[in-house]
Structure 1
Amino acid sequence: MGLGVTPSKKANPPKEGRKTSTPAKKAVKFGPPRSASKVTTSGKEKKNLKRKEPVSSESEFEEEIVKTTTGGSSRKTVKGRKVPLNVPSAPLDNVSFHFEDGPTRWKFVFNRRLSVERNLSKDFLKCKELMELISAAGLMKTVKALGVCYEKLVKEFLVNIGEDCNDPTSHEFRKVFVRGRCVNFSPSVINQYLGRSIDEIADMGVSQDEVCKTITGNFVQAWPKKNNLSATRLTAKYALLNKIAAANWVPTTHSNSVATGLARFIYAVGTKTSFAFGSYIFEQTFKHAKSLAVQMTITFPTLLCGIILD
């Protein structure tokens, strides 16, 4: 059996709950249903399903069936932001909105695909050095014994993240209101959920060239100026960390190359360098909340569900 990861479970969202100020046809209740089950799709939706390609030709990961993102390629610009046209409408039944523009933004979030985290395989878990590095980074909850991911709950959470969530002067600073409940959401909350130190950590003071030399075992002395680093240049340890990161931490389908952000992430894990993981996850989530892009995938959905339901 090869090294790999298995997808975490995805379940149908809860069906009942409290109405908010925004009119909705039916009430919804916060929390999971009595029993979790896999997401079911109608015959029409099944036509839009396709199997995701393995991470590489010799992928150590198990394949995962995911939804295809739809939407027109043409775009228009609104308030400096590019807005895709011809985005399919999204059902508003049983959706709780905290902001007036929620119903307008909902279709953009609804039509995104989740990049669901995957459990590491037994062979990966037997790699003592790798597990020690992940444990030291406080990221075990992102690769092992993953909980259930409620797709609709995650998307409702995103659409209800407002600008005030990142504004220290606002009374809604670090708060997200979803399904009639206030969820505290901040880098420290994320770190606490992961079992890491809640103290804020400064960004790594290391150059990209130093990162490049370390993860390639000094094989490449400087970061490529025009292209990303080839994954074939990584040492065995960082090649394994890259596989995990590409699936769970910095999701990407470009398995043959390593981008700067992903490189710095695996460098921090591999060298046990202090890194603001909580801030990174918070910033990625906040970016998804503000964006109207449909093609981008939603990262850390299982982790977000855990925080919402904690």
Structure 2
Amino acid sequence: MPRSKKQTQEAGPSSGKRKAPSKKTSKQPVTYDDTKFETEGAWLVYKKDTSGRNIIPERRVLISDFANELLGHVIERNKWETFVATPRVAYVEIVKEFYANIHDNLENPEHPNYQQVYMRGQYISFSPLVILRYYGLDDTENNVFEAATTNLDEVVTSICQGIDHWPDGRSTLNYKTLLPQVRTLDKMVSANLLPTTHTSTVTMERARLLHWL
């Protein structure tokens, strides 16, 4: 008989932080464990996919490293001090289990576990509203999610210099095409909001976020 799953809890401080995996601490479960995985399918996703993946850690943003005051202004205006603070230690295995447990009905309002994920015996709510409240942000910040559907030509026009449309057949932009002030914002986005080690190019997702900022 599977163990009973506890009531839903809201996401805590360790749910959103990432850290590079350690070979010494990464231990793949031998058999399906229902205290870690909601279903056997989630365990198989972990076993075949997420357990072997690297996790890109968040990096601290040092405002003093930038030549202008734009970044500091944006951080202060949007109350993002928590974003750019020194990242807390993350538990790599829990992060990987989190991604393995994300289910297909995550965004289905009619599903009993809408915007929830099963973690270590209980369901954790990690809706946009919960995340905003954790960071002390106003609910009106939800409009950031509209960035995901913004027309790419509009994005390019607002963040780039010398081009007015997304390059044909390309999935990324050259970092050098960004406006100088946007390059500053991209350093913060690449360090904290969408951590990446590939900073010479800008993905569509990152470009849309830069446009919203």
TM-score w.r.t. length of structure 2: 0.72
Match of 1:106 in 2: 46
Alignment correspondent of 2:8: none
**Per the alignment, do residues 96 and 193 of structure 1 end up closer, same or farther by CA in structure 2, a change over 3 Å counting?**
same
Alignment correspondent of 1:21: 3
Moved more, 191-200 or 105-114: 191-200
Alignment deviations for residues 62-116 of structure 1 (CA, whole Å, 9 cap, x no partner): xxxxx9xxxxxxxxxxxxxxxxxxxxx9334886222232332221221111111
Between the aligned partners of 2:21 and 2:114, the Cα distance in structure 1 is 33
Question: Does the CA contact (< 8 Å) of 1:92 and 1:103 recur in 2?
Answer: no
Q: How many residues align?
A: 193
Change (3 A) 1:221 1:166: closer
The answer to whether 1:249 aligns with 2:193 is yes
Distance 1:124 1:92, change over 3 A: farther
Compute the displacement of 1:195 (Å).
1.9
Aligned amino acid, residue 21 of structure 1: R
Asked if 1:159 is matched to 2:100, the reply is: yes
Q: Tell me the percent identity.
A: 25
Once the two structures are TM-superposed, the CA of residue 198 in structure 1 deviates from its matched residue by 2.6
Cα distance between partner residues in 2 of 1:265 and 1:154: 23
- Indicate yes or no: 2:28 matched with 1:90: yes
- Distance of 1:136 and 1:92 partners within structure 2: 48
2:204 and 2:69 map into 1 onto residues whose CA distance is 27
Confirm or deny: 8 A CA contact 1:115 1:251 kept in the other structure: yes
Is 2:173 the counterpart of 1:229?
A: yes
Any unmatched runs of 5+ in structure 2? Answer: 5-12, 15-19
CA distance in 2, matches of 1:225, 1:103: 39
Contact 1:117 1:143 (8 Å CA) reproduced:
no
1:152 deviates by 1.0
Contact 1:213/1:220 (<8 A) preserved = yes
Q: Which runs of 5+ in 1 are unaligned?
A: 1-19, 23-30, 33-37, 46-66, 68-88, 270-310
1:169-208 deviation line (CA, Å, top 9, x unaligned): 1222222221123311211111111222234436258543
Aligned to 1:266: 210
Higher helix share: 2
Q: Calculate the TM-score normalised by the size of structure 1.
A: 0.52
| DSSP-derived class of the 1:163 partner | coil
The one-letter code of the counterpart of 1:193 is Y
Does the CA-based 8 Å contact 2:116-2:124 persist in structure 1? yes
Q: CA deviation at 1:222?
A: 2.8
Distance in 2, matches of 1:179 and 1:167, equals 23
**Alignment match of 2:112 (pick from 171, 180, 200):** 171
Indicate if the aligned counterparts of 1:230 and 1:258 stay in contact, CA closer than 8 A.
Answer: yes
d(CA) in 2 for partners of 1:191, 1:118: 20
- Paired residue secondary structure (2:43): helix
Residue of structure 2 in register with 1:215 after alignment? 159
Q: 1:73 matched to which residue of 2? A: none
Query: What secondary structure does 1:182 align onto?
Result: strand
For residues 154-173 of structure 1, give each alpha carbon's deviation from its aligned partner in whole angstroms, at most 9, with x where no partner exists: 12222223234322112222
- Give 1:91's aligned amino acid: P
CA distance in 2: counterparts of 1:40 and 1:257, whole angstroms: 27
Does the CA-based 8 Å contact 2:56-2:196 persist in structure 1? no
Query: What secondary structure sits across from 2:37 in the alignment?
Result: coil
Task: Using the TM superposition, name which of 137-146 and 188-197 deviates more.
Answer: 137-146
Following TM superposition, by how much is the alpha carbon of 1:261 offset from its aligned partner in structure 2, in angstroms?
A: 2.0
Does the residue aligned with 1:90 lie in a helix, a strand or coil?
coil
Structural RMSD (CA): 3.5
How many Å separate the matches in 2 of 1:98 and 1:206? 34
Could you tell me how far apart the structure 2 residues matched to 1:222 and 1:174 are? 35
